[in-house]
Amino acid sequence: MAADKVRFGVIGTGGMGSGHCKMIPQIPETELTAICDVNPEVRERIATTYGVPAFATHSELLDSGLVDAVTIATPHYFHPPIAIEAFSKGIHVMSEKPLGVTVAAADAMIAAAKASGLKFGVMYQMRAEAQNQAARKIVESGTLGDIYRTSLVMAWYRSQAYYNSGGWRATWAGEGGGVLINQAPHYLDLFTWLGGMPSTITGQTRTRLHDIEVEDEAFATLEYANGAHGYLYASTTEVPNNNTLEVCGNLGKLVLDNGTIKLYTLDQPIREFTQTNEVMWGSPKVVEAEVEIEDYSQHLIKGHGAITRNFARSILFGEELIAPGYDGINAVELINGIILSSKTGETVSVPVDRARYDALIEELKQTSQEKATVVEQRVTDPKFA
Ligand SMILES: NC(=O)c1ccc[n+]([C@@H]2O[C@H](COP(=O)([O-])OP(=O)(O)OC[C@H]3O[C@@H](n4cnc5c(N)ncnc54)[C@H](O)[C@@H]3O)[C@@H](O)[C@H]2O)c1
């Protein structure tokens, strides 16, 4: 490794991976030195565009001596085995979200990362956004007091053409879920980063609008160890899109609503006021507090780039990771928990029963059908291009 640059390989250079290939050379601390894709046409095109060697298998890339770190942007089922092999070969890993399809596979990835002592990141780029960084600081400061309610409404519309764009998409065998495993992880990560992990999940999933075998809508009620409760909804069926996340505490409320942030603080804890106030229509006084948001407008490297840059700086200079791979387990717990609860009709405890979920996903994979209509497209979401 050159003293000031991390040599990156990208494994899986489709829609998202090609975006990483474009972004990595723009970051001062990273260079793109190799790529891998199982599809020959895709890997040759990307290799020619960026003038780097292309490998047909991840093992060849990992053995090439050309990379210090890899970004894994294959379909989700491949993230854990590729990461585990990379760690065993002394290579740092940035995994695309989600860590894996099952908690057991994600556990194995985490164990391999720990044993290797190498850097392990997960591509939750929304953590790098200024309002989300501010939200995390508010939660960490204790301003909200004891958490007693959380909620998340996340609607990211997808068309049938999107689902038809890859044979693996929205199948149990190829993807391992629908909106929960693909679109929701970003917000499930923020939701748990800000609101903590629930202890039980009661969930429902359904396929409402699309011709797919997995869910395009999911909703759940959550219980937390301290008695707090939560609600979450995720779908690819609603337009316009919606992202609303609330964390409500005894001392205040944080509302993230479609890119805006609001913090409300109370002059007295709700519980205390409720017991002591003698005025019939009284309520604690609410102040909308000023939220300090850093101005990132001049930052040239944002989103995925900010996470990759931080990851490289963590390798080079020991910078603290914004999105450590270890945190990635939380979204997988919620995803597995909601699906398990929906399929069994039971309330599920967290951590999710690994063996039970493995058995369920194997059963679901058996029901998977070859897709009738696939019009392959590997196009980076224009928001990220
Ligand atoms: N962080 C984000 O904002 C974001 C956005 C989109 C996708 N993603 C994630 O990126 C991953 C890929 O999604 P996509 O939309 O780019 O899919 P895609 O189908 O466009 O690309 C996947 C690529 O991986 C290749 N591939 C499949 N198996 C492989 C293997 N074993 N080794 C090497 N290459 C392999 C395919 O040929 C394809 O080119 C998913 O895990 C997804 O969740 C993240």
Tell whether ligand 1 has an atom less than 6 A from the beta carbon of residue 12. Answer: yes
Say if residue 203 is in the same domain as residue 56.
Answer: no
pLDDT (tens digit per residue) in 117-175: 999 999 999 999 999 999 999 999 999 999 999 999 999 999 999 999 988 999 999 99
**Domain containing residue 244:** 127-295+330-366
Residue 79 lies inside a defined structural domain of this protein: yes
Q: What is d(CA 295, CA 310) in angstroms, rounded to the nearest whole number? A: 18
In the reported structure, the alpha carbon of residue 17 is separated from the centroid of ligand 1 by a whole-number distance in angstroms of 6
What sign for the dihedral angle of Cα 155, 159, 162, 164?
positive
In the reported structure, the alpha carbon of residue 19 is separated from the centroid of ligand 1 by a whole-number distance in angstroms of 11
Residue 167 lies inside a defined structural domain of this protein: yes
Q: Looking at residue 371, what is its pLDDT? A: 79
Q: Which amino acid is at 371?
A: K
Sheet (strand 260-266) strand order? 286-289, 260-266, 252-257, 242-249, 147-155, 229-235, 217-223, 200-206, 348-349
pLDDT (tens digit per residue) in 214-266: 999 999 999 999 999 999 999 999 999 999 999 999 999 999 999 999 999 99
Q: Which of 1-10, 88-97, 190-199, 295-304 has the lowest mean pLDDT?
A: 295-304
Say if residue 131 is in the same domain as residue 172.
Answer: yes
Tell whether ligand 1 has an atom less than 6 A from the beta carbon of residue 166. Answer: yes
In the reported structure, the alpha carbon of residue 170 is separated from the centroid of ligand 1 by a whole-number distance in angstroms of 13
Q: What is d(CA 175, CA 214) in angstroms, rounded to the nearest whole number? A: 9
pLDDT (tens digit per residue) in 13-32: 999 999 999 999 999 999 99
Using 50, 70 and 90 to split pLDDT, how confident is the model at 385?
A: low
Say if residue 214 is in the same domain as residue 310.
Answer: no
Tell whether ligand 1 has an atom less than 6 A from the beta carbon of residue 36. Answer: yes
Tell whether ligand 1 has an atom less than 6 A from the beta carbon of residue 371. Answer: no
Q: Looking at residue 384, what is its pLDDT? A: 61
Say if residue 225 is in the same domain as residue 360.
Answer: yes
pLDDT (tens digit per residue) in 39-61: 999 999 999 999 999 999 999 99
Beta-carbon contacts of 107 under 8 Å, excluding residues fewer than 6 positions away, are 329, 354
Average pLDDT over residues 355-381: 88
Using 50, 70 and 90 to split pLDDT, how confident is the model at 301?
A: confident
In the reported structure, the alpha carbon of residue 97 is separated from the centroid of ligand 1 by a whole-number distance in angstroms of 10
Residue 384 lies inside a defined structural domain of this protein: no
In the reported structure, the alpha carbon of residue 100 is separated from the centroid of ligand 1 by a whole-number distance in angstroms of 12
Q: Are 213 and 223 in contact (CB under 8 A)?
A: no
Tell whether ligand 1 has an atom less than 6 A from the beta carbon of residue 39. Answer: yes
Say if residue 249 is in the same domain as residue 308.
Answer: no
Say if residue 76 is in the same domain as residue 216.
Answer: no
Say if residue 119 is in the same domain as residue 175.
Answer: no
In the reported structure, the alpha carbon of residue 290 is separated from the centroid of ligand 1 by a whole-number distance in angstroms of 40
Pairing of strands 242-249, 252-257: antiparallel
Query: Radius of gyration (Cα) for the chain, nearest Å?
Result: 22
* Distance from chain centroid for Cα 93: 15
Q: Looking at residue 32, what is its pLDDT? A: 98
Domain count, the chain: 2
In the reported structure, the alpha carbon of residue 127 is separated from the centroid of ligand 1 by a whole-number distance in angstroms of 21
Q: What is d(CA 74, CA 79) in angstroms, rounded to the nearest whole number? A: 7
Round the average pLDDT of the chain to a whole number and report it. 95
Residue 385 lies inside a defined structural domain of this protein: no
Q: Looking at ligand 1, which atom is closest to the CA of residue 74?
A: 24
Q: Which amino acid is at 3?
A: A
Tell whether ligand 1 has an atom less than 6 A from the beta carbon of residue 14. Answer: yes
* Residue 137 dihedral angles phi and psi, to the nearest 5°: -65, -40
Q: Domain with 303 in it: what CATH number?
A: 3.40.50.720
Residue 112 lies inside a defined structural domain of this protein: yes
The residue count for the chain: 385
Q: Contacts from 50-54 at CB under 8 Å and sequence distance 24+? A: 50/21, 50/25
Q: Which two three-digit tokens encode residue 315?
A: 């390798």
Tell whether ligand 1 has an atom less than 6 A from the beta carbon of residue 15. Answer: yes
Residue 52 lies inside a defined structural domain of this protein: yes
Residue 375 lies inside a defined structural domain of this protein: no
> What is the best residue among 72, 96, 124, 156 to mutate for testing ligand 1's pocket, by most ligand atoms within 8 Å of CB?
96
